[in-house]
Amino acid sequence: MVVAAYDKEVEERMRDFFESLNEKDRRRYAGLEASKLGHGGISYISEVLRCDRKTVSKGIDEIENPPELDAGRIRKKGRTQMLS
């Protein structure tokens, strides 16, 4: 790993904050932190936050290419299912 590790107390505060967020904000926070670190950031942040590397990568993508959502929504609208 190329990045320098944060202090253990900082890592713990980051984890606590991460856990307080909703799913979408967790991804984006993880992505933002990894982006700041550069090479090795995805691996390091996924370890610190105890989340999958794919979550961090998706967060980076969402920051760089924000999805278009209706105001106030966290997720895209799903397909409507007809119940019989």
Q: Among residues 12, 30, 8, 34, which one has the least CA distance to residue 21?
A: 30
In this predicted structure, the answer to whether residue 60 has a pLDDT above a threshold of 70 is yes
Averaged pLDDT, 57-62? 96
Structure tokens at 13: 């505060």
The torsion angle over the Cα atoms of residues 49, 52, 54 and 56, rounded to 10 degrees, is: 0
State pTM to two decimals: 0.76
Q: In angstroms, rounded to a whole number, what is the distance separating the alpha carbons of residues 65 and 32?
A: 13
Structure tokens at 76: 């895209």
Beta strand segments in the chain, E: none
pLDDT of residue 7: 95
